[in-house]
Structure 1
Amino acid sequence: MNDIVIEQLRSLRLSPFANALELQRQQPTTFNELGFEERLTLLLDHELIERENARVKRLRKQAKFRLDAPPEKLNYSIERGLIKSEIAPLIGGNYLQLKQNILITGKTGCGKTYLACALGEQGCRQQYRVRYYRLGRLLDALIAARVDGSYTLLMNQLSKVELLILDDWGLEKMTARQASELLEVIEDRYQVNSTIIASQVPVKEWHQLISNPTIADALLDRLIHNSYKIDLNGDSQRKNNLTLSDH
Structure 2
Amino acid sequence: MNEALREMLKYLRLSGLLGDWDQTLERARKGRFSHARLLNEIVEQEYKLKRENARQYRIRRAHIPEELVMETYPFDEQPNLNRKALLSIYDAFDYMARAQNIIWVGPTGCGKTGLATAFLIDAINRGYNGRFVTFAELVGELRASGADYSEAKILKQYLAPECLLIDELGYIEIEPAQVALFFTLMQRRHRKRPTLITSNLGFSDWRSFLKNDHLTVALIDRLTSNSYVFNMKDCRSLRPDPLPIP
* Unaligned ranges ≥5, structure 1: 242-247
Superposed displacement of residue 91, structure 1: 4.5
> Bigger shift: 83-92 or 149-158?
83-92
Structure 1 pair 144/178, CA: closer, same or farther in 2 (3 Å)? same
For the 8 Å contact 1:165–1:196, the answer to whether it is kept is: yes
Q: Is the 2:163–2:196 contact (alpha carbons within 8 Å) kept by the matching residues of 1?
A: yes
Equivalent residue runs for 1:147-226 within 5 Å: 147-187=147-187, 192-226=192-226
Identify which range, 113-122 or 189-198, moves more after superposition: 189-198
Alignment CA distance shift 1:217-1:224 (3 Å):
same
Q: Could you tell me how far 1:210 is from its partner in structure 2?
A: 2.3
- Worse overlay, 146-155 or 161-170: 146-155
Return 5+ residue gaps in structure 2 as ranges.
242-246
Deviations 1:183-202 (A, max 9, x none): 11112665611111101212
* SS class of match (2:75): coil
Verify the 8 A CA contact 1:20 1:46 in the aligned structure 2.
Answer: no
Kindly indicate which of the two structures has a greater share of residues assigned to helix: 1
1:159 and 1:188 in contact (8 A); partners too: no
TM-score when scaled to structure 1? 0.87
Give yes or no for contact 1:135–1:169 (8 Å, CA) kept in 2. yes
Q: What TM-score does the superposition give when structure 2 sets the normalisation length? A: 0.87
Identity %: 23
Per-residue deviation, residues 93-143 of structure 1 (Å, max 9, x unmatched): 311111110001122111011111111111110121111111021011012
The answer on whether the counterparts of 2:185 and 2:191 sit within 8 Å (CA) in structure 1 is no
Count the aligned residue pairs. 239
Contact 2:169/2:199 (<8 A) preserved: yes
Match of 1:43 in 2: 42
Q: Distance in 2 between matches of 1:195 and 1:55?
A: 22
Counterpart-to-counterpart distance in 2, 1:225 and 1:62: 29
CA RMSD of aligned residues (A): 2.3
Q: 1:47 to 1:189 in 2, by over 3 A?
A: farther
Hey, what's the Cα distance between the residues in 2 that align with 1:92 and 1:11? Answer: 41
Q: Please list the CA deviations of residues 185-224 of structure 1 after superposition, one character each: whole Å capped at 9, or x if unmatched.
A: 1126656111111012123433454211111122222111
Select between 95-104 and 224-233 the one with higher mean Cα deviation. Answer: 224-233
Q: Distance in 1 between matches of 2:7 and 2:137?
A: 47
Tell me the SS of whatever aligns to 1:168. strand
TM-superposed CA distance for 1:67, in Å, is 1.2
The AA in structure 2 aligned to 1:43 is I
Contact persistence 2:104–2:198 (CA under 8 A): yes
